[in-house]
Structure 1
Amino acid sequence: MNQNQLFEFLIDESQKPFTGWDFSYIEDTGRLDSEPLEWSYASYLLPYLRQAQTMLDMGTGGGEFLTALQPLPQDTYATEGYAPNFPIARRNLKPLGVNVRMVENDETLPFDDHQFDVIINRHESYYPWEVFRILKDDGQFITQQVGGSDMAELNEWLGADKDDGFSHWNLDYAEKELKKAGFHIIKKYEQFPYTRFYDVGAIVYYLKAISWQIPDFSVEKYMDQLYELHRTIMEKGYIQFKSHRFFIAAEKAQVHPKE
């Protein structure tokens, strides 16, 4: 198979369907790899989960990560804002007793004041004041976020605009917003790990799943740039780009400050 034939083959392979929030098609097969983070989101939150009676998982995707955290607190809820994922999350989580809610507006969540002991959030948007409202006094909010500069180098390679209105989204900004809402910051980290791709098909699969990275992405529009990426990978064996992640564990103070 020559280079052109391999390129066409890998592009065809990238058309496999993506469901929930499951990247196993390219991760478990070693086609995408990421530099380890300096923290473990799960290791930090598990002790709080085991002691909690009520818990919320914001942006559960297809429920894959939450399922792995079993046993779950007695009253566990999850939200999902992406319509195609919602039925997948319900199918996966209902047998575990998890109540899944569709949420379209971070500022109006369908929960009572002081409802949850722990709220977890992995790569999902949130409104600090609303999280504060539904969390019990001394409750924990634990989040890992994708920062605003995530994979900007990939956009540059493809000649795609990265000015998506999230360039400000980093640890410093998120920490200040949580403090304004009344939270006390317990732990925080920020890192720019490399994400490595071993073939162009994995890049296309990734961009189709992460549709907000390049909103106008299509193979046809970026064919020439993708082929150049393919050539680079064939020469070097891989290509890598800087990601952006940060982690915050915060505790709800008992007195809400004035906004």
Structure 2
Amino acid sequence: MTKKWDYEAFYERVGRQNGWDFSTMKVVSDTPAWDFYQEVIRCTQTSDLLLDIGTGGGEAVLSIAEHAHLLVGIDLAQGMIDTARRNLKKAASSSANGSKVRFVQMDADHLQFPNEFFNTASCRHSVFSASEVYRVLAEDGIFLTQQVSEHDKLNIAQAFGRGQHSGIKPGALLERCRQELAHAGFRQIEACEYNVMEYYAAPEDLLFLLMHTPIVPHFGEHTSDLETFKQFVQDHWHEKGIRTNSARFMITARK
């Protein structure tokens, strides 16, 4: 997955600040077409080795640890790996599943694993190298990725006049991923999409999101950002909360 602006520096800063911990943020959404890690479970056997790329604080993969023989989560930001290891320590104290999990700081472009090591690989909302994933997957292994679509948080991008995918043609990101996977040698490449409404309970919840994600690049550095934010909250208030959209696509591919 091609990188845009300086994600490495951005995510390392976020990792130091909060370890990619969004657990206090209050947000509800309409029911999406799938749950990504449930799809990962569906494609994983208990005897499998599973790689999770861009694992963040590790909460998601820790919740499915019992479904794999060994689960390795990697992330570019050391701060996020530190948080994931703390979460692993908590999980290990209450469950035997903690012994099945390892978290390692690693660049997804240079996976430090042997060829054909994993049976399944997953990547949610993070960059990846299709050729590297292909290399470390065993024959007949499956890769699943969920990514943010161009029209995600569309009303926010329109309000601020900039967004992480501004200027990208609709469908281009999905097609780029599909082509990269096909070029790497993957087969049986299948894609699906959803676009649902989501609601942030309070301005503080949405503000936290914008401060710790690249939805609005360099949020807060423009002098008008705070006033734009206040106006956005006023314009998009709903009885369920502050209204925006969540747009995702998922691709599964077999080696």
**Same fold, judged at TM 0.5 (above):** yes
Shift of 1:65: 0.3
The 1-side partners of 2:49 and 2:109 are apart by 20
Are residues 1:41 and 2:41 paired?
no
* CA offset digits 1:38-85 (Å, max 9, x no partner): 123233221332344311111111110011113143332110112321
Counterpart of 2:235 (choices 223, 232, 235) is 232
Amino acid in the other structure paired with 2:29: S
Question: Could you tell me how far 1:26 is from its partner in structure 2?
Answer: 2.3
| Contact 1:80/1:86 (<8 A) preserved | yes
Residue number in structure 2 paired with 1:108: 110
Per the alignment, residue 144 of structure 1 pairs with 146
In 2, the alpha carbon distance for the partners of 1:59 and 1:139 equals 19
Q: Distance in 1 between matches of 2:158 and 2:217?
A: 14
Alpha-carbon distance in structure 2 between the residues aligned to 1:100 and 1:164 = 33
Residues 1:73 and 2:68 are matched in the alignment = yes
Question: CA 1:52 to 1:237, structure 2 compared with 1: closer, same or farther past 3 Å?
Answer: closer
Partner of 1:125: 127
Partner of 1:194: 197
Distance of aligned partners of 1:186 and 1:215 in 2 relative to their CA distance in 1, 3 Å threshold:
closer
Alignment of 1:185-224 (within 5 A): 185=188, 187-210=190-213, 212-218=214-220, 221-224=224-227
1:56 aligns with 2:55: no
SS at structure 1 position matched to 2:24: helix
Given that 1:184 and 1:250 are in contact with CA atoms closer than 8 Å, whether structure 2 keeps it comes out as yes
Q: Is the 8 A contact 2:44 2:67 kept in 1?
A: yes
TM-aligned CA deviation for residue 206 of structure 1: 0.9
**Under a length normalisation based on structure 2, what TM-score does the superposition of the two structures give?**
0.79
Runs of 4 or more above 4 Å deviation: 161-169, 233-237
Question: Counterparts of 2:236 and 2:204 in 1: how far apart (Å)?
Answer: 11
- What residue in structure 2 maps to residue 99 of structure 1? 102
Partners of 1:232 and 1:238 within 8 A in 2: no
Match of 2:24 in 1: 25
Residues 218 and 118 from structure 1, CA distance in 2 versus in 1: closer, same or farther, beyond 3 angstroms? same
Unaligned residue ranges in structure 1 (runs of 5+): 1-16, 253-259
Report deviation, 1:243.
2.7
Preserved contact between residue 144 and residue 251 of structure 2 (Cα < 8 Å): yes
Give the partner amino acid of 1:244. Answer: A
1-side partners of 2:215 and 2:41: how far apart?
30
Q: How high is the sequence identity, in percent, across the aligned residues? A: 26
Q: Note if contact 1:175-1:185 (Cα within 8 Å) is conserved in structure 2.
A: no
TM-score, normalization by structure 1: 0.77
Count of residues in Structure 1 that have an aligned counterpart in Structure 2: 230
* Contact 1:150–1:243 under 8 Å retained in 2: yes
Deviation at 1:163, TM superposition (A): 5.4
Paired residue secondary structure (2:120): strand
Give the corresponding residue for 1:251: 254
RMSD: 2.7
